[in-house]
Amino acid sequence: MDLAQRDHNVIWHPYTQMKTAPLPIPIVRGEGALLFSEDGTSYIDAVSSWWVNLHGHAHPYIAQKVAEQLQTLEHVIFAGFTHPAAVALAERLLQILPQNQKRAFYSDNGSTAVEVAIKMAIQYWNNEGQPKRKVVAFRDSYHGDTFGAMSVSSRSTFTEPFWSYLFDIEFIDVPIPGAEEETIKQLEAIAKTGDVAAFIYEPLVLGTAGMVMYTPEVLDKLMELCQKYSILTIADEVMTGFGRTGRTFASLYLQHQPDMMCFSKGLTGGTMALGLTTCSSQIYEAFLHDDKSKTFFHGHSYTGNPVACAAGLASLDLLLHDSTQQSINRIVAQHAAFAVKAKQLPYVKEVRQQGTILAVEFEAGGTSYFSNLRDTLYNFALERGVILRPLGNIIYIIPPYCITNEQLEQVYQTILGMHGLVAAVQ
């Protein structure tokens, strides 16, 4: 029995309707931006394997560092004990994050990094003796799949069975160009109630919403309001972190600094699962107390896993290397040139770019065609050896930085070729 069939007999895949989904493609090897299937077919990983991969697959330098760590220390309990990789990774990240970030709290993935930030924010106000109930988030946001993260994410059909279990959130509209003033008004109206603990946001780019983009200027205004009304700010950089937006962190485009930040996807270069929440001294100090009930009682079995931290350190070495920074600039320039071409296609509603992230939004056509179009575009790309996962009628590229110009050109040509399929559903 081949691997896909064996998989089909035992595995339940994420975000997959197992009744109708085609058999998965078995991948047996990766190198650079390419993935190779069992039968030798190669695919360009234009979505960085769900936005995690930074430097290409099976990178020899990361592999070496992970192997060394595995032979030295694979794991140790992270309460009462520590180890070199966790300390070094925190030290190095705090040096390149917005200056006010002073403490690092490890967890397992993006959702847990968000859970930790929300719990820190709510307990912060409790510890300060001024409990606040409300959390503000963008209406179309995505912050993860666990209950707290779901609560602060958009109320979509994906989470509908759980709506009644999710805590109340005050949603504000995403301040896309033209809608800035309205969002500022919405936030101010909520802020004036005085019961707002925190505002959580994906800075500059809302990934799952369809690579929806807004400016640093309007985010700065929202953060200024938060400061004025003592609302803690949480930058969810799980997707935007580690170079995706052109700078190492999206928050580095801003004048204001967030109180807390969440990281995961690119943190280990896409090698291992690792989550990280960082915070300012103000947050941290509110938990220092002789009264033990003020402690942050949160942790996971694999908190600060040494192998994951070693992968994080190796990935950071590569990210900060000149050649990677040049690759990021190269991708930014290539995307900008392609955007000009893509904008001229009929049935293209909008082309958006922020750094290495590029999105092409097609006219949706009749809504009944919506999901069909998504699958048609997905298969069209696969048949041409390119992995693209459209979000409805939006196709996006978020490539590993090692992707070559030739590979990028193949991805662009694939997108240009989709135009006929889109025309067919109009």
CB of 19 to ligand PLP, least distance (A): 24
Catalytic residue numbers read: 15, 142, 236, 265
The residue range among 3-11, 106-114, 171-179, 381-389 that interacts with ligand PLP, by the rule CB under 6 A, is: 106-114
Choice between 143 and 352, CB closer to ligand PLP? 143
| Contacting residue, 48, 101, 111, 356, with ligand PLP by CB under 6 A | 111
Q: Does 144 bind ligand PLP (CB under 6 A)?
A: yes
The residue range among 103-111, 221-229, 357-365, 403-411 that interacts with ligand PLP, by the rule CB under 6 A, is: 103-111
Complete DSSP assignment for 88-140: HHHHHHHHHS-TTEEEEEEESSHHHHHHHHHHHHHHHHHHTT----EEEEETT
CB of 114 to ligand PLP, least distance (A): 6
Q: Does 110 bind ligand PLP (CB under 6 A)?
A: yes
What span, in angstroms and rounded, lies between the C-alpha atoms of 394 and 399? Answer: 16
Choice between 252 and 421, CB closer to ligand PLP? 252
Structure tokens, 272: 């291992």
Choice between 238 and 387, CB closer to ligand PLP? 238
Q: Does 148 bind ligand PLP (CB under 6 A)?
A: no
User: Residues with Cβ < 8 Å from 72, sequence gap 6 or more?
Assistant: 306
What span, in angstroms and rounded, lies between the C-alpha atoms of 179 and 351? Answer: 18
CB of 309 to ligand PLP, least distance (A): 16
Choice between 144 and 306, CB closer to ligand PLP? 144
The per-residue b/e assignment along 114-151, b for 16 or more CB within 10 angstroms, e otherwise, is bbbbbebbbbbbebeeeebebbbbbbbbbbbbeebbbb
Choice between 207 and 400, CB closer to ligand PLP? 207
Residue nearest ligand PLP by beta-carbon distance: 110
Complete DSSP assignment for 196-259: EEEEEE-SSEETTTTSEE--HHHHHHHHHHHHHTT-EEEEE-TTTTTTTTSSSSGGGG-SS--S
Is residue 348 within 8 A of residue 360, CB to CB? The reply is yes
The residue range among 37-45, 63-71, 108-116, 330-338 that interacts with ligand PLP, by the rule CB under 6 A, is: 108-116
Under rule CB under 6 A, which residues in 278-307 are in contact with ligand PLP? none
Can you tell me whether residue 278 is helix, strand or coil? strand
| Contacting residue, 45, 170, 236, 259, with ligand PLP by CB under 6 A | 236
Is residue 363 within 8 A of residue 426, CB to CB? The reply is yes
Distance, CA of 412 to chain centre: 23
Q: Does 239 bind ligand PLP (CB under 6 A)?
A: yes
CB of 324 to ligand PLP, least distance (A): 21
Structure tokens, 165: 């279990």
Choice between 352 and 407, CB closer to ligand PLP? 352
Q: Does 142 bind ligand PLP (CB under 6 A)?
A: yes
| Contacting residue, 57, 65, 83, 143, with ligand PLP by CB under 6 A | 143
Alpha-carbon radius of gyration of the chain: 22
| Contacting residue, 33, 34, 86, 114, with ligand PLP by CB under 6 A | 114
Q: Does 211 bind ligand PLP (CB under 6 A)?
A: no
Q: Does 361 bind ligand PLP (CB under 6 A)?
A: no
| Contacting residue, 140, 170, 202, 361, with ligand PLP by CB under 6 A | 202
Q: Does 264 bind ligand PLP (CB under 6 A)?
A: yes
Q: Which of 172, 216, 166 is nearest to 196 (CA)?
A: 172
# residues contacting ligand PLP (CB under 6 A): 14
Q: Which of 150, 154, 173, 172 is nearest to 162 (CA)?
A: 150
What span, in angstroms and rounded, lies between the C-alpha atoms of 316 and 301? Answer: 24
Q: Does 244 bind ligand PLP (CB under 6 A)?
A: no
The residue range among 139-147, 308-316, 334-342, 365-373 that interacts with ligand PLP, by the rule CB under 6 A, is: 139-147
Is residue 132 within 8 A of residue 191, CB to CB? The reply is no
Strands 34-37 and 27-31: antiparallel
Estimate the crossing angle of helix 405-417 against helix 322-343, to 10 degrees: 20
DSSP tally for the chain: helices H, then strands E: 14, 16
CB of 207 to ligand PLP, least distance (A): 4
- Kindly list the residues in this chain that would bind ligand PLP in the complex (CB under 6 A): 109-111, 114, 142-144, 202, 207, 236, 238-239, 264-265
